[in-house]
Amino acid sequence: MSLKLVPPADPSPVEQMRKRIRRMARPDGMLQCNQCGGRTLLTTVNSVVIRNGRKTGGTVIEKDICAHCWRDGIIVSMLPDLKPI
């Protein structure tokens, strides 16, 4: 039995939308996720205490990660030195 190459499938509507978002122009210096194109970032901090109306203390667990990918269980860094897709 011989192996055959399968042609690539057409992108789903969600993937088409992600590609369109990644290609959109964005202001200089704005962070954008390389995987999904999202622009929302998330920082998780453990053991924060509120004193005098301000958050103090705590240990940074994750910093500047994509919030959309994090919801799906993927941790993608959105640092400015990464090149956008």
Distances (CA, A) of 33 to 9, 13, 42, 77: 24, 19, 12, 8
The verdict on residue 32 lying in a domain is yes
Query: Model confidence over 47-58: pLDDT tens digits?
Result: 999 999 998 888
The verdict on residue 83 lying in a domain is no
The verdict on residue 5 lying in a domain is no
The verdict on residue 81 lying in a domain is no
Query: Model confidence over 1-37: pLDDT tens digits?
Result: 677 888 888 989 988 888 888 788 878 888 888 888 8
The verdict on residue 31 lying in a domain is yes
Give the domain extent around 25: 13-71
Domain count, the chain: 1
The verdict on residue 6 lying in a domain is no
The verdict on residue 8 lying in a domain is no
Q: Say what the pTM is.
A: 0.63
The verdict on residue 38 lying in a domain is yes
Classify each residue of 10-39 as buried b or exposed e, where b means 16 or more C-beta atoms within 10 Å of its C-beta. eeeeeeeebeeebeeeeeeeebbbbebbbb
